[in-house]
Amino acid sequence: MTAGRREPMIFTKLRAAAVAGLLAAGLLAPVSHAADKPQLTVSHDKAGWQANFEAYGKDDPTASWLVTPFGDTTNYQAAVRAALPTPSAPGMFTWWSGYRMKDLVEAGLLEDLTAIWKPLLAEGKVKQEVADAFSFDGKIYAVPNNVAYWAMFYNKNVYKELGLEVPKTWEELEGNLAKIKAAGKVPIGQTIEGRWPAFIWFSEFLVRSDPDFYVKLMAGKAKYTDPQVVAAFATWKDWMSKGWMDDGTSPFGFTTGDSMNNSFAQGKVVHMLVGTWFADTVTKAGTIEGRDWGLFVLPNKTASLPPSVIFEAGPLLVSKNSDTHDTAVKAAAYWMSKEGEQRWADLTGFLVANSDAKLPADKEVAKLNDTVAKGNYKLLGRYWESTPSPIAEAAVDEISKFVLDPNSAPEVMQNLQKIADDYWAAQPKP
């Protein structure tokens, strides 16, 4: 639905809980303006990034940031959606790219930021694929708060202990997994905590065999019952039956107890497939980057394929109706500058979009970025943002069933295809 038409019901039915959340967060309260810089209201659901946002906001020459964190993503989405049609909307806020931005764009709630991107794209300072993650009908509606590759974290200490090398082929990868299992360790940690991680290995197995098919599947131009999906589930089941992957029931990122991350830090789990944004969490579990762990992109199962990697681009969006809108646009422009991007990279260790901003060369994420750039890797959007949200939300529940019961693959594939069929059948025909 385009701007000028009636807003979707999701924006007009403001739930009491959402409004209460906004009041509690101070988003509906009047703001005062600093004498030297105009104030910018910023909201996010990345609790661990609060200190980084605050530090960045203090240094931003265009605005004084008033940053509001939300601890729960569901409440965050409801609160922001409730505020977006009003002047009390946050001037800038974090969200998700691709299809998860689509309804906000169609409702006319986001500012077009194409003018910020055009000179950077023309000069080759930002990747077109990153811009595409935020693009609709030729317009770009976000700046990236992070760009992350989905790569394999591996425990260097275990690799050294077992005499392993980073695998260059699928056969070498499986050989490493077999040796790690024989040594009494868990070769790969996986988790379905919070539902969404179920898509991680599903999409990875597809991309390693047929990335073009993966793109078609995301767009409804292929089926979840096609041979490529059957093969992906078969490989996944095979790896689990051999004990190369755990059962998926451990927590994800906490640094205590039996979480996947903590087990990785202790060398009990040897690999994790996660976005590079997870690097700081891995380090906080008591490891030293470069000494204790490194990163590599999985080799292709189909050896003839060119190199590729799944990536995600997390957007910062500008609210069209916010009373801090004008300041937000200026802040977004500064964010994309060399100085703005460098400050964010220094604070977070994240990859950033502007190639003029650099991470220290000895950082594992920087080394991976260099590998991807020099190897001319094809960038493929993450499942969560690349397929319509109603499909993704239902699909992760089905895929989770498979992780808990690998024998359920035939039923899961049929259910996935029904989910996709129902969605695509309800869409307007071009």
- Phi, psi (rounded to 5 degrees) for 247: -85, 0
- Give yes or no for a contact between 366 and 295, defined as CB atoms under 8 angstroms apart: no
Instruction: Report CA dihedral (253, 255, 259, 261) to the nearest 10 degrees.
Output: 60
Contact 321, 80 (CB under 8 A): no
pLDDT-flagged residues of the chain (< 50): 1-34
For the chain, what is the total number of helices (H) and then of strands (E)? Answer: 20, 11
For residue 211, give the nearest of 298, 137, 98 by alpha carbon. Answer: 298
Residue at 294: amino acid letter: G
3-state class (DSSP) for residue 316: strand
- Angle at alpha carbon of residue 101, lines to 49 and 70, rounded to 5°: 30
Which two three-digit tokens encode residue 317?
Answer: 């969006």
Phi-psi region of 275 (alpha: psi -120 to 50; beta: other; left: phi over 0): beta
Q: Which residues pair with 313 in a beta bridge?
A: 147
Q: What angle do CA 271, 276, 281 make, to 5 degrees?
A: 75
Cα 195 to the center of its chain, rounded Å: 14
**Residue 332's closest CA among 353, 358, 347?**
353
DSSP category for residue 150: E
For residues 56, 62, 64, 70, the Cα torsion angle rounded to the nearest 10 degrees is -60
pLDDT at position 255 is 67
In Å, what is the CA distance from 152 to each residue of 53, 166, 421?
Answer: 27, 10, 33
Q: What is the DSSP string of 226-285?
A: SHHHHHHHHHHHHHHHTTSB--S-S-SS-SSTT-HHHHHHTTSEEEEEEEGGGHHHHHHT
- Bridging pattern class, strands 92-94 and 39-44: parallel
Q: Which two tokens stand for residue 80?
A: 């922001």
Any idea where the domains of the chain sit in the sequence? Answer: 9-145+314-363
Among 180, 144, 175, 206, which residue's Cα sits nearest to residue 355?
A: 144
**Burial of 212 per CB tally in 10 Å (0-12, 13-18, 19+):** middle
- Beta strand pairing status for 143-155 and 308-318? antiparallel
Q: Is the distance from CB of 271 to CB of 277 less than 8 angstroms?
A: no
Are the CB atoms for 170 and 208 separated by under 8 Å? yes
Please check whether residue 120 is in contact with residue 47, taking contact to mean a CB–CB distance below 8 angstroms: no
Pairwise CA distance, residues 1 & 261, whole Å: 42
State which CATH number among 3.30.160.70, 3.30.565.10, 3.40.50.2300, 3.40.190.10 fits the domain covering 9-145+314-363.
Answer: 3.40.190.10
Q: Residues 6 or more apart from 413 whose CB is under 8 A from it?
A: 224, 225, 229, 230, 233
Count of CB atoms situated within 10 Å of the CB of 178: 14
Enumerate the β-bridge partners of residue 80: none
- The per-residue pLDDT for 252 is 86
Look up residue 163 and give its two tokens: 């005499």
CA atoms within 13 A on the CB side of 72: 9
